[in-house]
Chain A
Amino acid sequence: MSGTTDAHSSLVVAGVKIELIERGQGNPRARPILLLHPNIGIEPAAPVLDALAKGGRVIAPTHPGFGASQSPKGMNSIDDLSYFYLDLMEQLDLRDVLLVGVGIGGWLACEIAVKTTERIDRLVLGNPLGIKVGDRETRDIFDIWSITQPEIDALAYFDPSIAKRDYNALPEADVLAAARNREATARVAWSPYMHNPKLLARLRRIDVPVLILWGTADRIVLNSGYGRAYAAAIPGARLETIERAGHYPHIEQPDEFARRTLAFAEQKQQAKASA
C-alpha cells in the first residue's frame, strides 16, 4: 500500500486489483478500521474517513466490481466478496480489526464474520441489509430498481440534497464509477433481492461484540422491525439509532457515526485494561 492521504491507492488481492482509501496510517500499530461501503461506493472526500481516523488507521477499499476496482469473472455475490475480504485481511495481516459496514457493506461484514472472526475484534453495522424478515409477499427492502434516482435518494437520505451530483461537472472517472456502482449492486443483489435467505440463521455464529447504528430516516428499508430483527439474531448485539440520517448514517452524520463507532471500540480497550 502506498501512503497517499487524500486519494486512492491500489492493492492486488488474490489476483484482483482494487482501489482503496487509507487514512491515519502514521502509526502502523494503530487499530485497523476496515470500512465496507454501501451500494453507492465511498468517495475520498467523505468526512467519515478522517473522523474514524482519529481512532485508528482506516482502510476503505472499493469492493471488486464497484468504482474502479476490477470485476473478476464469477465474483457475483456478497458471499464471493466475503471471501475476498478474508483474503485481504490475511494478506495485510490485519489483526483485531474494527470492521465497519454500511448498507450492503453491513451485509458483507456479517457474511465475513459468520465464517470466522479470527481477525475481527468487533463489528459496527450501519443500516445493514442482507436478511429476510417479512413474509414471502412482503418486501423488507424497497425495490430501488422500480423507481427513479431522485425517488431512491428521497427514501435513502434524511436530506436528499446531499445526493445530488452534476455528472457533467464531474471527472469522467467519477461518472464511470457511479455507473459501475449501480451495475455491481445488481450483480450481487438482484435476486434474492438485497438479501441472502440463509444469513439470518447464520448470524448466531458471530462471536464478537456488535453495534448496529440505525439511521432513523432510512425508508429504503421498509420493515420497521428490521434493525431489531438483526440485533436479535446476533448474540449480544446492541442497536442504537442515529437521528437526521437515513440509509447512509456515515455520510449524513459522519461525526456522530464515527464517535459512536470509536466509543464502542474503546469500551473493549477499557474492559481489557480493567481486567
Chain B
Amino acid sequence: MRVYQFTEQAYYPAWKDHAGSLRINLPNSKLDPTTAGELFNRYYDEWQVADDIGLDIMLNEHHQTATCLSSTVVVGLSIMARITKKARLLVLGYPLGHRPDPLRCAEELSTIDVVSGGRLDMGFVKGVPYEFPASNQNPVGVMDRLWEAHDFILKAMSHRGEPFNWEGEYFHYRQVNIWPRPIQQPHPPLWSTTNSKNNAYALGEKGYVIATLGSGYGTRPLYDAYRQGYYKTHRKAPGADRFAYLGLVAVAHDESEARRRGDLIADYLRTSAIVHIPYRNPPGYLSIEDNAKILKGFKQPRGTAKDGRPVDIYTCSVQDLVDAGILFCGTPDQVYKQIVEFCEYCGGMGNLLMMGQAGYLNHADTVDNLTLFAKEVMPRLQAWKQSVAEVAAA
C-alpha cells in the first residue's frame, strides 16, 4: 500500500469570522498575506517531513476560499518537486473543468514531472460545483470539456515529431509542440475522483486510478462499477493499486489524544460545506434527474456507517466518523485494524490518501501524527497481503 499525506492547506484563522460562507464570496480582507505565507511554508515543511519518513504527497487546489490556500497547485507542486526526494507527487485534483487553457496545463505538468525526476501523478477532476462562479467556466457541458482537455493534454505530452494541430469543440491550437515533454512515458499516471457509478465504470474502462473522497462505507458500489468497466477493456480484475481512498487519519499512543486530534482534523468536514447556498449547485453540474430530485426537496445523506446507518459527516461525532470509515483514529494498532477492515470491505484498496493535517492541528501534532503513522502503522500495512475482489457479474 502507498500512503499519500494530504492537507488542504487551510487558512483556518478566518474560520470563525464569516457570514455563512467560507468559499467564493468570503472577502479576502479576512486574509493576512503574511500569515498566509507562514502557513504555506509550514505546510510545505510538513510535506518535506512526509517525504523524509517514506510517505508520498498529495496536493490540490481550490479557489477563493479559507478552506484551502492553494489556488494554483502548480506552485506547491513546483516547490515539492524541488525540495522532496522520493515521494510521489499526486495532484488530486487538477480541476480541468475550471481550466481555460489545457496547453498551459500540459506545459505545467510536464515541467513538474521533469523537475521531480518523474514523480508526478496527474489527478484530473472537473472541479467542485461552487468554483464555477469563480472560474466562470460554464458548468453546463463540463464533462465534455474535461474529456477534450484530457485528450489534448495526453496528446501534447506524448506527441513526437512535427507540431500538431487541434481544432476541437472547446479548444483550438496550432503548432503544438510542448517543451519540456514529461519523463514518464507516454505520460504521468492518471487518476480521477468520482462519486457516481457511471463515471466509476468509465474510469475502469480507461484503467485510471479511481479515488473516492470520504465515501466511507458507501464506497464498495463505486469500486464494483469500476471493476466492471476495467474488466470490459482489460479482461481481468484490477489490482488494489487502481483504488484510492481519502480518509482522515489521527493516530497517537494515547487513545484520548488520538480522539482529540481526530476532532481537530474533522473540522475539515465541518467547514467544507459552509458555502453560500446558491453556489452549491450551479446549473448543469448535476444531472437533470438529480436536479429534479432537489426541486422536490430530496437530500442525499452524505455518509453511511458500517451498519448501514446514515451519518451526516458535516455535524456528526468523532465516533460516527470512525464508524463510517471517514476517519481512521486511535492507537497505531486500532488505526491499522480500521484501515484493514475498510480495505477488506472495499475488496482491495491500495492507495490511502491520508488527511494527516487539517485546520487547527498544529505543526508539532501534525509531525507526530505523520511520524507515528509512518513508523507504526505503515510497515504493517505494507506487510499485509490484500486479497483482491473478483469482478461481480454486471
Contact = CB atoms under 8 A, between A and B. Distances in A.
Contacts of A180: 288
A183 B281 CA distance: 11
A183 B140 contact: yes
A186 B138 contact: yes
A186 B284 contact: yes
Given A145-B282, A146-B133, A183-B283, A167 B141 contact: no
Contact of A185 (B277, B283, B289): B283
Interface stretch (B206-214, B291-299, B308-316, B326-334): B291-299
A76 to B, nearest CB: 7
Interface in B101-142: 133, 136, 138-141
A190 B139 contact: yes
Contacts of A178: 292, 295
Contacts of B296: 167-168, 175
A190 B140 contact: yes
Contact of A182 (B25, B136, B291): B291
A139 to B, nearest CB: 13
B278 interface: yes
Contacts of B297: 167-168
Interface in A128-153: 143, 145-148, 151
B283 A186 contact: yes
Contacts of A145: 133, 278, 282-283
A191 B134 CA distance: 12
B254 interface: no
Contacts of A176: 288-289, 292
Dominant secondary structure at the B interface: loop
Nearest to A151: B278
Interface in B248-290: 276-279, 282-284, 288-289
Contacts of A74: 169
B136 A183 contact: no
Interface residues on A, range: 20 to 34
B27 to A, nearest CB: 15
A93 interface: no
A148 B278 contact: yes
Contacts of A183: 140, 283-284, 288, 291
Contact of A175 (B138, B277, B282, B292): B292
B304 to A, nearest CB: 25
A204 B169 CA distance: 31
A127 to B, nearest CB: 21
A148 B284 CA distance: 16
B295 A167 contact: yes
A190 B291 CA distance: 18
A146 B283 contact: no
A179 B292 contact: yes
Contacts of B139: 186, 190
Nearest to B291: A179
A168 B294 CA distance: 11
B278 A146 contact: yes
A147 B292 contact: no
Interface of B: 25, 133, 136, 138-141, 169, 276-279, 282-284, 288-289, 291-292, 295-297
7 contacts: A146-B278, A175-B296, A178-B295, A182-B283, A183-B283, A183-B284, A185-B283
Given A146-B278, A187-B140, 12 more contacts: A74-B169, A76-B141, A143-B133, A145-B278, A146-B279, A148-B277, A148-B278, A151-B278, A167-B297, A168-B296, A179-B289, A190-B136
Interface of A: 74, 76, 143, 145-148, 151, 167-168, 172, 175-176, 178-180, 182-183, 185-187, 190-191
